[in-house]
Structure 1
Amino acid sequence: MENRKKVAFYTLGCKLNFSETSTIARNLQDEGFDRVDFEEVADMYVINTCSVTENADKQFKQVVRKAMKLNDKAFVAAVGCYAQLKPEELAAVDGVDLVLGATEKFKLTDYINDLSKNDFGEVHSCEIAEADFYVGSYSIGDRTRAFLKVQDGCDYKCTYCTIPLARGISRSDELENVLKNASEISKQNIKEIVLTGVNIGDYGKGEFGNKKHEHTFLELVQELDKVEGIERLRISSIEPNLLKNETIEFVSKSRTFVPHFHIPLQSGSNDILKLMKRRYQREVYTERVNKIREVMPQACIGVDVIVGFPGETDEHFLETYHFLNDMDISYLHVFTYSERDNTEAAAMEGVVPGNVRAKRSKMMRGLSVKKRRAFYESQLGTNRTVLFESENKEGYIHGFTENYVKVKTPWNPELVNTLHKINLTKIDEDGSVRMDFVTALV
């Protein structure tokens, strides 16, 4: 046992990356590695990269430096989206030994020998058209919640996005395998599963470019609702044109699916949506939000929005701002547009100056604070169910209600990973909500 090597992981980006990091980690553990925290000395450091975040290269270099500071003889491997898009760039970073693209990342053990350092980073990166097979993943780290991957890749051609270049065509896990993974998670005493993917509403497309849907997203949701041992299921981001009324209605009556939706808008201007090559107009978005409010008045609705896209005038921006201000949504994820190589948008006219992008981002973030506050205020005095998380933050334990209100109460380790019926009492200075216990559920 003394010969077992230690491996540490660092994940940049989305929930999907976290689920895949967990799967790669389990593969390495099966091959004789012991997983340790990234803060510890390890024989190998694996960095799962992201192409969506701004300054992706800068973030990556910082993480590599951190690893080298812990152990300058450690083997460093880069995997994931940025590794697929800019493999040579990552390989040139001092300290990096191996770069694996989209099809290679799950075969990490095939590319490592004795973990001795390389003079130059070794690259194994496919043409993205070869990424036509599916690898199922799920994360188990935080004991209260797991990320379950159900779909990968995207067939959409949004003009600002590199994800199709980094992850390939849309393809899905088999329904039986998703249910098997969900069942495995439920046996780990994990109370909540979050469904993840690149474009999960497109669930059902098979491997090798098969465009036929074997199952629909609605069928996936219906079958997952029957899996025993799961207290909560949460849908992560889903495109408005793929979120059907039937799915919304099913969630409203579901045993396990919670009343929380995250629906990307990106712009409230039809002109800009057209330039982005989004597959809907803002009227469709309004219909989705109205439908959710009709059947789930207490639901939490999150929105992605991009500011500073090429061609976005002050009028376009204000159109989006007022559209969201007037809509009954709960919070925003605000992205400041940044140019990406090999995207249509990078060559578009009407570039918005950086200072204008920053100003618009600040305005949108202010609107998000206002929306979240209004949503939390609307929930005061109501009874909800909270799932407590595992961290002690300055003497408090935090958790989320089924409709995604963040709550806090004085730290008590016995509350970790338990569900309780609570009453929401007041909003604290940090924006979270204080609560009174009503009854323990589990």
Structure 2
Amino acid sequence: MENRKKVAFYTLGCKLNFSETSTIARNFQDEGFDRVNFEEVADIYVINTCSVTENADKQFKQIVKKAMKLNDKAFVAAVGCYAQLKPEELASVDGVDLVLGATEKFKITDYINDLSKNDMGEVHSCEIEEADFYVGSYSIGDRTRAFLKVQDGCDYKCTYCTIPLARGISRSDTMENVMKNAKEISERGIKEIVLTGVNIGDYGKGEFGNKKHEHTFYELVQALDKVDGIERLRISSIEPNLLKNETIDFVSQSRTFVPHFHIPLQSGSNTILKKMKRRYLRELYAERVAKIREVMPDACIGVDVIVGFPGETDELFLETYNFLNELDISYLHVFTYSERDNTEAMAMEGVVPANVRAKRSKMLRGLSVKKRRAFYESQIGLDRTVLFEGENKEGYIHGFTENYVKVKTPWNPELVNTLHHVNLTKIDEDGSVRMEFLNVLV
């Protein structure tokens, strides 16, 4: 047993990356490796990269340095989106031994026969057109929730985005495999599944990228609602043009799907939406929010928005600000636009200065705080169901209601991964909500 090699993982970026890291980690364990935390000494460090923000690129170098400090003889492998887009750049980082692109990352154990350090990182990456097969995955990092990947890639051509270059065409898991993975997750005692993918509303396109939909996202939602043992299902992020009324209506009546939607907007200005090549205008977005509110008045609605896109004048930014201010939403995820190679937006005129981007970002983050506070205030006095998480944070245990209100109560290890019926009593100084127990549910 002493000779078993140790492997550690670090994940940058989205929930989809976390689900894929988990799957890669299970492959290593099947091959006889022991998984350890990234802060521990390991024989192999695998870094799953992201290319969405400038920051993720810089973080990569710091993470490699950290691994080398822990064990300067360790074998370091980079996988993921940045590894697909800029393999040579990653390979040249001091300490990196192996770089695997989009199709190779799930076969990583095939490449690790010899753990001796390389002078220069070895690159195995494909032309992205070759990424036409689907690998299912799910993450089970903590005991309370799992990220279940149902779709990969994207056929949209948004002018700021590198994801189609990094992940290839839209393709989906089979319905049978999604159900099998969901059952496996439920058998591990996990209470909540978060559906994830690059563009999950496009679910159903065949494995080899054929444009025909074998099933629709709506059919997937209906089938998952019947899986025994799962208490909660959450839709992570879905394009407004793909979130259909039938899905919203189904969620409102569902046994397991919770009233929480995260819907990318990106801009509240139709001028900018057109420049971004988004597939909707703000009017459709407002309709989606109104429809959710009509059938689920207490639903939590989160919004992605990008500030500082080329051509975003003060007037156009104010269109976004005012649109969001008036919209009945619950919180924002604010992204500052950053230039990415091989995107149409790189060549656009009207570059917004960095200090203006930062100022706009701060304004929208302030709006998000206001929106979340108003949403939490609307929930005080109501009865909700809370799923408690596993960490002791300064003497408190936290959890989320079905509609994504963050609650806290004094630490009690017996509450971990249990569902409780509670009454929300007041907002605490740190912004989370206090509660009183009504009765244990599960």
Cα deviation code 1:294-323 (max 9, x no counterpart):
000000000000000000000100000000
Aligned positions of 1:176-191 closer than 5 A: 176-191=176-191
Q: Provide the rounded CA distance (Å) in 1 between the counterparts of 2:228 and 2:209.
A: 33
Which position in structure 1 is the counterpart of 2:76?
Answer: 76
Which position in structure 2 is the counterpart of 1:226?
Answer: 226
Q: Is the 8 A contact 2:381 2:423 kept in 1?
A: yes
Q: Is the 8 A contact 2:53 2:338 kept in 1?
A: no
Which position in structure 2 is the counterpart of 1:25?
Answer: 25
Q: Provide the rounded CA distance (Å) in 2 between the counterparts of 1:53 and 1:345.
A: 14
Instruction: State how many pairs are aligned.
Output: 442
| Per-residue deviation, 1:37 | 0.5
| Per-residue deviation, 1:113 | 1.3
Secondary structure class of the residue paired with 1:436: strand
Which position in structure 2 is the counterpart of 1:430?
Answer: 430
Which position in structure 2 is the counterpart of 1:103?
Answer: 103
Cα deviation code 1:379-421 (max 9, x no counterpart):
0000000000001101100000000000000000000000000
Q: Give the share of equivalent positions with the same residue, in percent.
A: 90
Letter in 2 for 1:423: N
Q: Provide the rounded CA distance (Å) in 2 between the counterparts of 1:27 and 1:266.
A: 36
- Runs of 4+ more than 2 Å apart: 53-57
Which position in structure 2 is the counterpart of 1:205?
Answer: 205
Q: Provide the rounded CA distance (Å) in 1 between the counterparts of 2:209 and 2:291.
A: 33
Q: Is the 8 A contact 2:187 2:229 kept in 1?
A: yes
Letter in 1 for 2:287: E
Of the structure 1 ranges 243-252 and 107-116, higher mean CA displacement relative to structure 2 is found in 107-116
Which position in structure 1 is the counterpart of 2:409?
Answer: 409
Letter in 1 for 2:436: D
Which position in structure 1 is the counterpart of 2:47?
Answer: 47
| Per-residue deviation, 1:103 | 0.3
Cα deviation code 1:318-374 (max 9, x no counterpart):
000000000100000000000000000011000000000000000000000000000
Cα deviation code 1:40-64 (max 9, x no counterpart):
1100000000001222221000100
Cα deviation code 1:220-249 (max 9, x no counterpart):
000000000000000000000000000000
Q: Provide the rounded CA distance (Å) in 2 between the counterparts of 1:9 and 1:333.
A: 26
Which position in structure 1 is the counterpart of 2:247?
Answer: 247
Which position in structure 1 is the counterpart of 2:35?
Answer: 35
Aligned positions of 1:292-307 closer than 5 A: 292-307=292-307
Which position in structure 2 is the counterpart of 1:367?
Answer: 367
Q: Provide the rounded CA distance (Å) in 2 between the counterparts of 1:117 and 1:407.
A: 47
Q: Provide the rounded CA distance (Å) in 2 between the counterparts of 1:178 and 1:296.
A: 27
Letter in 2 for 1:321: Y
Unmatched 5+ stretches in structure 1: none
| Per-residue deviation, 1:271 | 0.3
Letter in 2 for 1:37: N
Which position in structure 1 is the counterpart of 2:131?
Answer: 131
Cα deviation code 1:83-118 (max 9, x no counterpart):
000100100111000000000000001111131111
Q: Provide the rounded CA distance (Å) in 2 between the counterparts of 1:163 and 1:141.
A: 24
| Backbone CA RMSD of aligned residues | 0.5
Letter in 1 for 2:120: F
Letter in 1 for 2:236: S
Which position in structure 2 is the counterpart of 1:273?
Answer: 273
Which position in structure 2 is the counterpart of 1:152?
Answer: 152
Q: Is the 8 A contact 2:50 2:57 kept in 1?
A: no
Which position in structure 1 is the counterpart of 2:286?
Answer: 286
| Per-residue deviation, 1:19 | 0.2
Letter in 1 for 2:286: T
Which position in structure 1 is the counterpart of 2:390?
Answer: 390
- With the length of structure 1 as denominator, give the TM-score of the two structures: 1.00
Query: Aligned pair 1:312/2:317, yes or no?
Result: no
| Per-residue deviation, 1:207 | 1.9
Which position in structure 2 is the counterpart of 1:264?
Answer: 264
Letter in 1 for 2:56: A
Which position in structure 2 is the counterpart of 1:341?
Answer: 341
Secondary structure class of the residue paired with 2:391: strand
Q: Provide the rounded CA distance (Å) in 2 between the counterparts of 1:56 and 1:222.
A: 36
Which position in structure 1 is the counterpart of 2:118?
Answer: 118
Cα deviation code 1:176-203 (max 9, x no counterpart):
0000000000000000000000000000
Which position in structure 2 is the counterpart of 1:67?
Answer: 67
Of the structure 1 ranges 261-270 and 107-116, higher mean CA displacement relative to structure 2 is found in 107-116
